[in-house]
Structure 1
Amino acid sequence: MEIITATKEQLPIIRDLAYKIWPDTYGQILSSEQLEYMLLNFYNIPSLEEQFDNGQVFLLVKEEENFLGFAAYQINCKTEGKTKLHKIYVLPETQGKGIGKLLLQEVENRARLHGNTHLFLNVNKYNKAQEFYKSQGFVVVLEEVIDIGHGYIMDDYVMEKEL
């Protein structure tokens, strides 16, 4: 298993993984309409290209010829010294095998290499992944409600970890 830095040409792989992963991750939390709206808006190729161009680094986990998950992070996001973990997802059938932890450790290592001292993320208040983040040393630092348009919101915790 290896972690690679994704190129712009590999963004369709990220999109395809999101479409496979999100229904399992958010199917019990969001309406099918909001889920579809978010996928269409956040994971269309022009949106992913914009995220890429605005400083997000995308990572892919690859085993042989199969891609099992992805992450995206941004060094010095919003403030100097802090890295934001924008996304981290693994295929449902691979969860519990340490792939998410591997991706997280890679992001932490890259953040440290850039002199960042904190890693932060947003997680839906009802997403069971917050337990994973807590087990990895993250703590809730605030609550955030983000209007994403079309009458939808993201009701999140912001979690942070000192590196």
Structure 2
Amino acid sequence: MFVRTASERDLAAVRALLVETWHATYDAIYGAERVTKITDEWHSLAKLKANLERPRSEFLVADDGKMLGGMAYARAGDDGKIVTIHQLYVRPASQRLGIGKMLLAEIEDSFPEAKTLRLEVVEDNHRALAFYRANGFVIADRQEDKTTHASGLVIFNCEKQLG
């Protein structure tokens, strides 16, 4: 696998990766029907294309030449000091191969002026929490998710300070 910047031709494969990964990760937490609604809304081709074109952002894919093993999307704030990772997902069959770590490292390299990385993780997503903790993130605070799809679940706001 190698990590590269995504292009518009990757978007259908990114969407398929997100749908597969979300069902594998969140069906037990949200239920399959809710996951389908979330992926249809949050991971539509139109939303992915908008992210691809957004300024001060990086949209990455992990590619082996035949399939995408993972993807990540992050965006910097106006001053560039705080970068929020909005998406970092690895296809279930490709997990535990270092792809997530490669994507995370490329995000850090893509924003050299950043001092802090931020992201949100659902409390019940234990594998993601373990991954982020192992890669230097700490839980900064917690909040109740008030979105229509996930109301009532606890979300951890995580941060990593960069050198």
- TM-score normalised by L of structure 1: 0.89
Aligned position for 1:71: 72
1:19 equivalent to 2:19? Answer: yes
Aligned match of 1:132: 131
Residue 41 of structure 2 is aligned to residue 41 of structure 1: yes
Structure in which a larger fraction of residues adopt strand: 1
SS of aligned partner of 1:3? strand
* Aligned 8 A contact 2:117 2:160 in 1: yes
Aligned identity (percent) is 26
Q: Aligned with 1:147: secondary structure?
A: coil
The CA distance in 2 between the partners of 1:25 and 1:17, in whole Å, is 12
Distance, in Å, in 1 between the alignment partners of 2:31 and 2:14 is 22
Is 1:88 paired with 2:82?
Answer: no
Is the 1:120–1:159 Cα contact (8 Å) retained in structure 2?
yes
**Structure 1 outlier segments of 4+, above 2 Å:** 49-57, 144-149, 151-155
Cα 1:61/1:80, change in 2 over 3 Å: closer
Shift of 1:90: 0.7
Please report how far the alpha carbon of residue 38 of structure 1 lies from its aligned counterpart in structure 2 after TM superposition: 0.6
* In structure 1, distance between residues paired with 2:42 and 2:154: 16
TM-superposition CA deviations, 1:28-85 (whole Å, max 9, x none): 21112211111010011112223333344210101122211101011226x6401111
Q: In the aligned structure 2, how far is the partner of 1:97 from the partner of 1:152?
A: 30
Which residue type is aligned with residue 84 of structure 2?
K
Structure 2 residue aligned with 1:52? 52
Unaligned 5+ runs, structure 2? none
**CA separation in 2, counterparts of 1:51 and 1:144?**
25
Distance 1:71 1:21 in 2: 13
Mapped to 2, the partners of 1:105 and 1:80 lie a distance apart of 17
Separation (CA, whole Å) in 1 of partners of 2:94 and 2:120:
22
Task: Provide closer, same or farther for how the CA distance between residues 9 and 144 of structure 1 changes in structure 2, counting only shifts above 3 A.
Answer: farther
The count of aligned residue pairs is: 159
SS in 2 for 1:27: helix
Native 8 Å contact 1:76 1:116 kept in 2 = no
